[in-house]
Structure 1
Amino acid sequence: MRLPDFEAWAIFASVVEHRSFTAAAEALGLSKATVSKAVTRLEQALGTALFHRTSRRLSLTESGRALSSHAARILAEAQAAEEAARNEAAAPQGLVRIAAPMTFGLMHVGPAIADFLADHPGISIDLHLSDEKVDIVEGGFDIALRIASMPDSSLRARRVGAVTSHIVAAPAYWDRHGRPGHPAELARHACIRYAYMSTPDVWRFRGPDGEEAAIRITGPLSCNSGEAMLPTLRTGLGVARLPGFIIDQDIASGALEPVMENWKMDPAALHILTPPSGPRPARVRLAIEFLAKRFTKTCPD
């Protein structure tokens, strides 16, 4: 029986993670030629190309994309086995790649990472902030923080806590245009849309008596950052639907005023997502537990 080329699979996973033969070689302590030969060896064994190679760009083929999660699993399980064999009591070391939403990342993840690194000097973090929904497997991330109502997925999802949204505007705006008591009244207001919502032009509500309402909204601004909406809101130019972690301070100061608090919007929660792989390296498990404990206080149910 011919054994799989586990070294080549692990090197392939590293190239996918680092998006470069050169960066993978540096991370693995190998020559670029060794890395290239291992990937070529694997391609020959599989009978398919794994990468599109040009002088300026490296990208996965369809076969490479389909096999990348298998390679990541092989590498992660091997790393986890080695760490367990060495000594779980030893301080974990290595890189953890984390993706998080932009505003939540700036306000909460960045400070959390600073504390985590201070406690674990052997671990390094590659933090990617974007409100765009990232592909964890293709992007090579160990952890992704996502605020959403999670659909069925092959990813592992750990719910951390609730994220409550509010309909807000400046008091001066409400004074000029009236405070709505029913979601249907929002149709005549200048509403600011969040571009990364699944339906940015439709806001859905459930009333205290179970009534459901889906309102098509219009307004002067569509934006892919909740934080970037704040200047427009504060100057009294519109209405927005935003999570509490962005606007709690503005509500407390009186700069923004929530309305229709008895109407609930689509439920959302903060989740920690991880790829559908087997055992995780100790450094990743440690980061997951740290972030879960930290953000349970930030997003209480």
Structure 2
Amino acid sequence: MDRPDVTLDRMRSFIRVAERGSLSAVARELRVGQSTITRHLRELEEAVGVPLLSRTTRRVTLTDEGRRYHADCVQILRLVEQAGDEARAARGAAAGTIRISCSAALGVRQVSWLVFAFQDRHPGIGVDLSLTDERVDLVREGVDIALRLGPLTDSSMKLRPLGRSRRLMAASPAYLAARGRPSVPQDLAGHEGIRMTNIAGSDTLVLDGPDGERHAVPFGGRFRIDHGLAAREALIAGRGIAPAHRWLVDDVLADGRVEVILPGWEPPPVPLSLLIVPERAGIARVRLLVEFLAEHIAGVPGIEPPAR
């Protein structure tokens, strides 16, 4: 019997299984049955004549030959995508799908609207927007780019600083009427704080003061949450005081449902960065979105240019 051919579909299945370590996860991602992924892998191994994956009941790992072949496959598929991009560019129409990861609150409040505007400009480009506050592995999850707030440790990705997100101290008028308005940071000790459980050290609040010095004050409270949108709702409901990104509360500040307190005292701004998977950086549609976000992110309330 003749050996099967090496096809792009089989290579794509192999790459994603190698990166995710799970046939079932890749089947869900590619919207096919797991039997299809199993067949692709078997036929690809028959085509190249060596075992590429080692399978156990718990996980799938690459063989030595598989590691070398995986690196080559990634480059081959990147060239295939770029060739398609160049052919479409000759007709002036970018196409394909981009996968983006972004923190949930920022994605809902701001980034989704930027994506809408981008797709209006480039109707042939599809976008899969994944909203999560977890620091996902971009390659493993098949993500092209990620918008990240806070310090970064992943040096394997291409990094593009987008700016810094300014924060403020906020509370609702109802809360302030019931509990009083703090005039200096030390007054926070007698107030209810809305704290984020997914931020280390949230029991201490760091504020930059009008004197140019940085101050740390204890910050407690009965309500803790791990999601920015829920913290926003708690502020509106008068459950306490919280540090908030300006983009998170710009609308409720404007209509008076939330007020700025301790003017002149602000939590330090948070870096906002764009991470790009290096193998995806050269693809035309990814480049278009990266440049669009870099240009338009300055229009998001509270985002200031990166520190020089």
Using structure 1 for the length normalisation, give the TM-score.
0.78
Aligned partner (choices 203, 206, 209) of residue 205 of structure 2:
203
Aligned partners of 1:224, 1:43: CA distance in 2, in Å? 48
CA-CA distance at 1:257 after TM superposition = 1.6
CA-CA distance at 1:143 after TM superposition = 1.0
**SS class of match (2:181):** coil
Q: 1:82 aligns to what?
A: 83
* CA displacement, residues 222-270 of structure 1 (integer Å, 9 cap, x when unaligned): 1122222234323322111111111122222222121223223232133
Aligned partner (choices 165, 170, 180) of residue 163 of structure 1:
165
Aligned partners of 1:224, 1:88: CA distance in 2, in Å? 43
Q: 1:134 aligns to what?
A: 136
Query: Does 2:227 correspond to 1:225?
Result: yes
Q: 2:3 aligns to what?
A: none
Structure 2 residue runs without a partner (length 5+): 1-5
Identity %: 28
Aligned partners of 1:155, 1:290: CA distance in 2, in Å? 19
Letter of the 1:36 counterpart = L
**SS class of match (2:252):** helix
Aligned partners of 1:23, 1:246: CA distance in 2, in Å? 31
**SS class of match (1:158):** strand
Aligned partner (choices 38, 42, 45) of residue 37 of structure 1:
42
Q: 1:19 aligns to what?
A: 25
CA-CA distance at 1:116 after TM superposition = 2.4
Aligned partners of 1:179, 1:264: CA distance in 2, in Å? 16
- Aligned residues of 1:167 and 1:240 also touching (Cα < 8 A): yes
Aligned partner (choices 266, 284, 288) of residue 286 of structure 1:
288
Q: 1:251 aligns to what?
A: 253
Q: 2:117 aligns to what?
A: 115
Letter of the 1:239 counterpart = I
Letter of the 2:42 counterpart = K
Question: CA 1:47–1:207 in structure 2 vs 1: closer, same or farther (change >3 Å)?
Answer: same
Question: CA 1:82–1:19 in structure 2 vs 1: closer, same or farther (change >3 Å)?
Answer: farther
CA-CA distance at 1:142 after TM superposition = 0.2
Query: Does 2:105 correspond to 1:103?
Result: yes
Aligned partner (choices 263, 273, 276) of residue 275 of structure 2:
273
Letter of the 1:82 counterpart = A
Question: CA 1:178–1:122 in structure 2 vs 1: closer, same or farther (change >3 Å)?
Answer: same
- Aligned residues of 2:170 and 2:241 also touching (Cα < 8 A): yes
Number of residue pairs the alignment of both structures matches: 289
- Aligned residues of 1:76 and 1:280 also touching (Cα < 8 A): no
**SS class of match (1:248):** helix
Aligned partners of 2:213, 2:63: CA distance in 1, in Å? 48
CA-CA distance at 1:192 after TM superposition = 0.5
Aligned partners of 1:132, 1:287: CA distance in 2, in Å? 22
Aligned partners of 1:281, 1:201: CA distance in 2, in Å? 44
Question: CA 1:126–1:209 in structure 2 vs 1: closer, same or farther (change >3 Å)?
Answer: same
Range that drifts further, 74-83 or 116-125: 74-83
**SS class of match (1:265):** coil
* CA displacement, residues 113-142 of structure 1 (integer Å, 9 cap, x when unaligned): 223223323322111112232222222210
- Aligned residues of 2:196 and 2:225 also touching (Cα < 8 A): yes
Range that drifts further, 148-157 or 258-267: 148-157
* CA displacement, residues 27-61 of structure 1 (integer Å, 9 cap, x when unaligned): xxxx6455222665699857763x6567xxxx655
CA-CA distance at 1:282 after TM superposition = 0.9
Q: 1:186 aligns to what?
A: 188
Using structure 2 for the length normalisation, give the TM-score.
0.76
CA-CA distance at 1:182 after TM superposition = 3.1
Aligned partners of 2:62, 2:73: CA distance in 1, in Å? 16
